[in-house]
């Protein structure tokens, strides 16, 4: 199953810095632009994909820098979490 960009209503990128952590929510177009231009600017990065479920958010996909060795392969099909 492909990475679920089209089926999600919210994406969150958690950027991990040496001494600080920040969160920002992106829409679909912004996420690809951010991810394709920002990987090399941080010492760590964690991607969390959320789907809105009623009034809560359900985490449905997650990756960190160990999974993101190559942006090109990151956008290839990946397994959904079990």
Please, which residues have CB within 8 angstroms of residue 66's CB and are 6 or more apart in sequence?
Answer: none
What predicted TM-score, i.e. pTM, was given to this entire model?
A: 0.25
Report the candidate in 62, 35, 34, 40 with the shortest Cα–Cα distance to residue 49.
Answer: 62
Confidence of residue 1 (pLDDT cuts 50, 70, 90): very low
Report the pLDDT value the prediction gives residue 34, as an integer from 0 to 100.
52
Q: What is the pLDDT of residues 6-60, one digit of tens each?
A: 444 334 444 433 333 344 444 545 555 555 454 444 444 455 555 555 555 555 5
Distances (CA, A) of 42 to 16, 23, 52, 76: 7, 13, 28, 22
Question: Are the C-beta atoms of residues 77 and 1 closer than 8 Å to each other?
Answer: yes
Q: Which neighbouring-strand residues pair with 48?
A: 12, 62
């Amino acid at each position: 199953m492909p990475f679920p960009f089209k089926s999600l209503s919210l994406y969150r990128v958690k950027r991990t810095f040496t001494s600080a952590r920040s969160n920002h929510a992106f829409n679909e177009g912004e996420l690809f632009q951010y991810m394709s231009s920002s990987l090399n600017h941080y010492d760590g990065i964690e991607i969390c994909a959320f789907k809105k479920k009623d009034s809560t958010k359900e985490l449905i996909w997650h990756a960190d820098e160990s999974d993101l060795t190559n942006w090109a392969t990151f956008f290839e099909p990946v397994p959904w979490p079990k």
